[in-house]
Structure 1
Amino acid sequence: MKPSASDVPQRLSDFDIELRLLLEAIYLKYQHDFRHYAMSSLRRRLTQALDEFNVETLSQLQDRIMRDGNEFSRLFRYLTVQVSDMFRDPSYFRALREHVLPRLRTYPSIKVWVAGCSTGEELWSLKILFDEEGLTERTLFYATDINPDALARAEAGIYALERIQGFTQNYLAAGGTRSLSDYYHAAYGGARFAGSLKERVVFADHSLSTDEVFLEAHLVSCRNVLIYFDRGLQDRALGLFENALVRRGFLGLGSKESLRFSRHYPAFDEFRAAERIYQKR
């Protein structure tokens, strides 16, 4: 009996076979699980890594990182995406200001989880927003990421001066009530946003692939992270957010992300659908 098309294993390229072996090796050696990240994105980034490491194949790259932890640290930045802006998608932050924060204001204390905080631009945007709405003193922020270098940069809060004009435009479009320059000063050849904003912020290593819920949150903001996961890992992450949120808590996703096709969709209402803000039922 001739097997059906579904019974025949999909033929993989040598590159894809080596990619899967590399991800498995990383998981076994370093306990970082990238096996359920979107393959198309990993292919592109690891192709770039071959040039950086001056090797021809992923097998050669695997040999390097298995023998030298410092080489794995170099590779780590290719496995995680560190692209962000302050007040990215200003309508999202305006919707938080106008529709979500008035509801959070009813709580005596508030916890916010910025999951996949990268180099901190979204965290500081939220801190500024909460400060302008008078909620800083009763809010505790948790900023998490799997990349220790990104966490260190987020905590430092220093960004290139040439990025400030774009940050400022986004801030004003998001409904900023002051001047963005009130929140930073020039230092170390860049603009430093930390200072008083750093208060009531906890930075922590956390993997959406392998770790569990560690807090009860009123707002979870995880934007432009799920697009790098496959469907199974997306559902795992969304399950963490659902479990972390208090009843009627809020979840914010990126402009190209949605709960609609997730198994967790029934647990949420589309609070501000256009801005990808959901409220737990």
Structure 2
Amino acid sequence: MTSSAKPGHKVINEGNRREGHTSGIEYNGWTITSKKTSICNSQDLDRLQKEIGIPLPEMIFGNNEVSIRNKTGFELKYRAEDALQLVDKTSESNKHIKVAYAKEWGKKRLNHENIKDVIKPYDWTYTTSYQGTSGNQFVNTDKDIDIERLKRLDPILYYDENILFEDELADNGTATLTTRLRVMPTCFFLLLRFFLRVDDVLFRINDTRIYHEFGTDYVIREYTSKEDHYNSVRAQLPKKVSEDISLLTDPNWVSTVLPTNTQTIEKQMAIVK
């Protein structure tokens, strides 16, 4: 998907990947940017680990940042450090996974020593309910994101994907936190997705969706969380002569098959003025 800008739109393209490359767009009073840099160096890692208080994911882009700002002062940011601050650091953090699945791991793929290595005094899956960093107040709302509008084939003025962190969970799966955003002539939409796959155990997806229609004075934020057993998701793979399990690594496909009756939904809005 390509990005383009019409007359009157200002395209942002600054810096480089090594020192920090920022792309984005200024449009209708909004400045929407995505900064991407290289993976954290040892100095950055030492600082982050001290501030967060737990071992960090294998790949952390601690200087990456997505920002949505309005000229009125409204602002939303998305950063790995803020997301990891919400990872459960208590001794009870992995209790339900340990109790429900440790025996199953032992039967299917891990020996007891490996289980001991995996179970750690923090949530080693890095599950986070992070919905963004903002000083603005969000309140509950009945307003919905206009899904039909998002399905329209409107021009894409700006599109971006950004990764905040990733971990392979000691070769037992994956945990990632990513953003995708697009700006159209009538609205913008951002998806922040935490995706978790623990092999033979479970899938979990925590999504935060940000939506604004230009001309309105509010931003909608919708948060959903859903999960299911690994085998239940695998059972929904398309039937083929030669089974292909590559779809299990595709968060978009997994999201479509996770049961909606397990999800929690929070809808909020913030006034922009």
Give TM-score scaled by structure 2 length: 0.25
Looking at secondary structure, tell me which structure has more helix per residue: 1
Q: Which has the higher contact order (CA 8 A, sep 6+)?
A: 1
More strand by share: 2
